[in-house]
Amino acid sequence: MGYRNYMKKLLYITLFLAAITACKNNSDQPAKPIEPPVTEKYIQKSPEFNGDTAFAYVAAQCKFGPRVPSTNGHKQCADYLIKELTKYADKVEINGAPLKTFDGKTHQCKNIIASFNIKATKRVMLCAHWDTRPFADQDEKDKDKPIDGANDGGSGVGILLEIARQLKLKPTEIGIDIILFDLEDYGQPGESELEQMEDSYCIGSQYWAKNRHIKNYMPAFGILLDMVGAPDAQFVKEKGSVEFAPTIVEKVWNTAHNLGNNSFINEENNGIIDDHYYINTIAKIPVIDIIEYTKDKGLGDHFSHTWHTHNDNIKNISKFTLKNVGQVVMEVIYNEK
């Protein structure tokens, strides 16, 4: 190649590069949009939770009337729960003893335990209470009469019965123990004239924590469900759960986020005394509480608006809320290995 041809070619190259640079700097030239990073769509591992079935389980409990210890409704409901769980679980057993309440009465406590995949060494416990409040101390009328407890008691049990049914159809890799605690809601009212009884609530779980159905029973973690069926219910992180089992709280709330569930709010409220408190402090098992206990501007922290009133009935239970909570819990356990 001659020098003249070489210089001509070099000139063409220079002009070509200059033209490209000019195009890049031309403000009239639209910039190429930046493509968003490709993210993988979350794939649900658990079966589809059936809110209608869970609702039917809540309604079935309410048909027995209030499930106050030592009443016919309590006995009939216990028989029903044992029968239902026996359909699905590998083993069902009763844990309990005669226990005294704040009013000096003695009641036969029945903690109902259903175990799945009993050969598995890694286990997770799911729990709720199945008894109901003997009086409507938060109501304006008939304060001395018992409540239906559709939400406070019935909703958590209804979700766990539906999970039991799903576990029969599709077992998890890990072992699951569903525990329905008795004598949770027989706590002493604030206006009671009787001598104050310390730790008057959660008597059944206190007994279980000291007398577990299997000696040294120690699951990886536990999830407690309480008041999980009200319409439009939202669930913030309960302070005690965050202190006792922070990684489990994050596991559950992250799972809800992955499922696109906006009922689980990334906020923290005050700690409460519930069954999980005694399981954590006595048995040293990390258990969190999923409970409707909301922060309202100007109203302060509060439970469900039907709490300990006669409005806690089946009319105030939402199939959508039951599914929201049940699907999150199922997704957590089906992802455990």
* Per-residue pLDDT, 23: 39
* Per-residue pLDDT, 191: 85
Helix/strand/coil (H, E, C) string of 146-188?
CCCCHHHHHHHHHHHHHHHHHHHHCCCCCEEEEEEECCCCCCC
H or E element at residue 265: strand 264-269
Tell me the angle at which helices 156-169 and 51-62 cross, rounded to the nearest 10 degrees.
130
* Per-residue pLDDT, 7: 36
- Which neighbouring-strand residues pair with 177? 115, 125
pLDDT, tens only, 7-34: 333 333 343 334 434 434 444 444 455 5
- Give the pTM: 0.88
Which of 212, 216, 106, 92 has the alpha carbon at shortest distance from 161? 92
Tokens encoding 23? 């195009």
Tokens encoding 27? 């403000």
CB count in 10 Å sphere of residue 63 = 12
Report the alpha-carbon distance of residue 279 to residue 285 in Å, rounded: 6
* Per-residue pLDDT, 297: 52
CATH numbers and ranges of domains, the chain:
51-186+199-334 (3.40.630.10)
* Per-residue pLDDT, 179: 99
- Which neighbouring-strand residues pair with 289? 224
Extract the residue ranges of the chain whose pLDDT is less than 50: 1-31
Report the alpha-carbon distance of residue 224 to residue 290 in Å, rounded: 6
* Per-residue pLDDT, 197: 97
* Per-residue pLDDT, 19: 41
DSSP state of 268: E
Q: What single letter denotes the amino acid at residue 329?
A: V
Distance set, CA 300 to CA 146, 243, 260, 296 (Å) = 27, 21, 27, 6
3-state secondary structure of 145: coil
* Per-residue pLDDT, 15: 39
* Per-residue pLDDT, 21: 41
Tokens encoding 88? 């699905």
* Per-residue pLDDT, 296: 64
Tell me the angle at which helices 72-88 and 51-62 cross, rounded to the nearest 10 degrees.
150
